[in-house]
Amino acid sequence: MTGRIAFQGEPGAYSDQACRDARPEMEPLPRRTFEDCIEAVRDGSADLAMLPVENTTYGRVADIHRLLPESGLRIVDEAFVRVHISLMALPGVKIDELELVRAHLVLLPQAQSFLSQYGIRSEAAADSAGAAAEIAAAGDRRVGALASDLAAELNGLEILARHIEDHDHNTTRFLIMGREADLSRRGDHGMMTTFVFQVRNIPAALYKAMGGFATNGVNMTKLESYMVGGSFTATQFYADIEGHPDDPPVARALEELAYFTDMLEILGVYPRDPGRD
């Protein structure tokens, strides 16, 4: 394998699956927290970090937008992973033997219809892949886990049912972060640019700042705000746009934005993933 890519969670987590899908030539490196993933890239333990930023079912991943600007890392790619939920248990166990399943808190409601159908109770775990590992170690035939197929494979568990999620659109978007920016044009589906900014304290500053993107025909796919420094008056914005900073319309829009901001920092320029479509 060529290099390591860090992810948050246990082996078999959906972030692990994202690493294997997007960078199959690299060795996935599990870390406990998002901060640990970032530090692994900073100190050279890993070459890249795979960080989830949003999910179609439960929205923005908490704290991640605060961590990205502070990380010192740059976005070099994005990846979309379809979250398929599988029910797994010890080899030989039948569904009607299960009394309880364990999974991460955000996963349990997404399979509630299936669990109710079989009268199986649910219990929150810190990590879905970790729950699979614990079940494999404990040897309790009454307890199962909801996790990825990869988690079952890595822990020697048997999949009793696949794709049991209530909705068929559950997808997580990940950003792949590295130590150095890559401004080259690459990929076959266009480019994306991500940046953060703080508007000047003048009337209608945000409205005026955004006007340049509209008048130059630049598509903004995401705009989110969050507080910085514990202040209700210092608001930072995170934005994704389609295009490269060297594209004339994007360059004009960013130039206009800079006039109305106290801070503007580009976090990454990367290929647009076809998973967006």
Residues marked active site are found at 172, 174
User: Distance (Å, rounded) from C-alpha 230 to C-alpha 5?
Assistant: 32
3-state secondary structure of 134: helix
Q: Are 172 and 18 in contact (CB under 8 A)?
A: yes
Q: Which two tokens stand for residue 215?
A: 């008048």
Q: Write out the H or E segment, with its range, that includes residue 112.
A: helix 112-118
Q: Write out the H or E segment, with its range, that includes residue 177.
A: strand 171-178
The Cα-based distances of 104 to 93, 110, 129, 230, 256 in angstroms read 22, 11, 9, 29, 44
Cα three-residue angle 257-258-264, rounded to 5 degrees: 105
User: Distance (Å, rounded) from C-alpha 11 to C-alpha 34?
Assistant: 15
Q: Write out the H or E segment, with its range, that includes residue 80.
A: strand 74-82
